[in-house]
Amino acid sequence: MPSVMRTFAISLAIAFIGTMAGVFVPPALFIPLVIIEVVMLISIFFLRRKKAVSYTFLYAFTFISGMTMYPVIAHYVATSGANVVINALGTTTVVFGGLALYASKTKRDLSFLGGMLMAALLALIAISLFNIFWPLSSTGMLAYSFIGILVFSGYVLFDINRMKHYGVSPEEVPLMALNLYLDFINLFLYILRFFGVLSSRD
């Protein structure tokens, strides 16, 4: 568990460096970077079964993920203000930390959440695709963002609790750290969207 959390922290630091590097990336390159990120995400599903995620893959993915996050953060800074981004990051850190603490201390086995979380995640993806063609109202976006916050809060509980109950082998450390990274980043993005919608309604 400590080695997973250490690798997770390094992943977040690398993503932060990637976001800073995003300032210097020409706008035309962001779409190719997003495509690379999506391909890597899809490959994770296959690598996960073989437990073949390496440290190199993890850190490359988090760096690219950080770069592709720059336009999103820049958008919210421009439309809602830097305070909204800072508040979202602070809230994410507190929520993630609280959930991780509970999941690591509770004696309950939360593995039963897995099926429900996967179904909810697929529903989120379906709604996001729907939103591309038929944009949601601000109220609908608030509800969508809140559901996303609940889903990835659930994934934090599920992933941390699973490590506590079933342990982590050395070769699984990069994969588990990647799971936590995806939980944290998605939780942050949904909280940021939620705060962004609220600020636009003021």
pLDDT in tens, 58-111: 999 999 999 999 999 999 999 888 899 999 999 999 999 999 999 988 888 888
Q: Which two tokens stand for residue 43?
A: 């490959």
**pLDDT tens string 66-80:** 999 999 999 999 988
Contact in structure between 80 and 195 (CB atoms under 8 Å): yes
Residue 201 has pLDDT above 70, yes or no: no
Q: What is the pLDDT of residue 49?
A: 67
Residue 142 has pLDDT above 70, yes or no: yes
Q: What is the pLDDT of residue 72?
A: 93
Task: Give me the half-sphere count of Cα atoms (radius 13 Å) on the Cβ side of residue 174.
Answer: 17
- Structure confidence at residue 52 as a pLDDT band (50, 70, 90): low
Its pTM stands at 0.91
| Summary mean pLDDT of the chain | 89
In the DSSP assignment, the letter for residue 135 is P
Mean of pLDDT values over 30-50: 84
9-13, 51-55, 109-113 — which is least confidently predicted?
Answer: 51-55
Q: How many CB atoms lie within 10 A of CB 31?
A: 10
Length of the chain measured in residues: 202
Q: What is the pLDDT of residue 190?
A: 95
Q: What is the pLDDT of residue 172?
A: 84
